[in-house]
């Protein structure tokens, strides 16, 4: 495949499903060689196999983003497989609902921040040097959320982690601008992903909650994963060459109200 990202190497965390899987496919369609990483080896392999079957280049890696040792191993394996890294998409994340602050378990709080925030920090810490080694700069895209900009009750850990990703992005953008590495964040609204579907199954009267969520998006629907992936491809490409430290909101008008 040839396209806007030809001869570039991308690493996508949480690439086995949802936004991550759509991003892997979209990057490969534009010519990137994609390292699909996921906590589930089966999910990562399924996405990589599908990309290869469509004529693209991809390799699957088992990856726990909360583990510095896993980051070091995966980045080394990506270096061995592709010889460089140009694009890092810190996408892996988790959420829980209905966690009131006065009864919020420390275990849940720490797990949420470990995945959503520490995992993004480790991405910069361990993958950044490989991007720099390539000598031609690169693009880091951190997946935050509209909940990193606005709050919702019962989701303090998620909001805190995604808000922190926003500010980590800005700090990294300033630090890495002289290195030619751009760092931007993407803030999706609610998306038709397994993550959102699982949340709706957990809450009482999930169908009513879903309808409420739909109504809160000015476009009257939830996003498709490919629509978020398209924004990520733009930030990965030279078309966004003057963007760094930016917050790209892709929310169907949710935060415009």
Catalytic residue positions, numbered:
158
Distance of CA 14 to the CA centre of its chain: 7
243-247: Cβ within 8 A, 24+ apart: 243/182, 243/184, 244/173, 244/176, 244/177, 244/182, 244/183, 244/184, 245/169, 245/170, 245/173, 245/174, 245/183, 245/184, 246/184, 246/185, 247/144, 247/149, 247/166, 247/169, 247/184, 247/185, 247/187
Q: Are 11 and 78 in contact (CB under 8 A)?
A: yes
Q: What angle do CA 149, 229, 158 make, to 5 degrees?
A: 30
Q: Are 107 and 36 in contact (CB under 8 A)?
A: no
Adjacent-strand bridge partners of 223: 191
For the chain, strand residue ranges (E) read 9-12, 33-38, 57-62, 87-90, 138-143, 181-188, 247-250
Adjacent-strand bridge partners of 237: none
Closest by alpha carbon to 89, among 148, 12, 154, 190? Answer: 12
Angle between helices 225-236 and 18-29 (to 10 degrees): 50
């Amino acid at each position: 495949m040839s396209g806007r990202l030809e001869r570039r190497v991308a690493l996508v965390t949480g690439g086995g499903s949802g936004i991550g899987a759509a991003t892997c496919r979209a990057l490969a369609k534009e010519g990137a060689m994609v390292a699909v990483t996921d906590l589930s080896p089966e999910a990562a392999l399924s996405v990589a196999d599908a990309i290869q079957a469509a004529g693209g280049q991809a390799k699957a890696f088992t990856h726990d983003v909360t583990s510095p040792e896993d980051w070091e191993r995966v980045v080394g394996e990506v270096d061995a497989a592709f010889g460089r890294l140009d694009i890092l998409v810190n996408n892996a994340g988790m959420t829980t609902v209905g966690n009131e602050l006065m009864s919020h378990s420390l275990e849940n709080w720490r797990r949420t921040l470990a995945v959503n925030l520490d995992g993004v920090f480790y991405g910069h810490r361990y993958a950044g040097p490989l991007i720099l080694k390539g000598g031609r700069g690169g693009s880091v895209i951190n997946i935050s959320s509209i909940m990193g900009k606005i709050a919702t009750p019962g989701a303090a850990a998620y909001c805190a982690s995604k808000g922190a990703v926003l500010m980590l992005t800005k700090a990294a953008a300033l630090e890495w601008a002289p290195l030619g590495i751009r760092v931007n964040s993407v803030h999706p609204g609610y998306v038709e992903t397994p993550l959102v579907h699982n949340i709706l199954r957990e809450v009482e009267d999930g169908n009513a909650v879903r309808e409420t969520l739909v109504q809160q998006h000015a476009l009257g629907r939830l996003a498709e994963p490919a629509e978020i992936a398209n924004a990520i491809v733009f930030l990965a490409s030279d078309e966004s060459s003057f963007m760094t430290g930016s917050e790209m909101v892709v929310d169907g008008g949710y935060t415009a109200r």
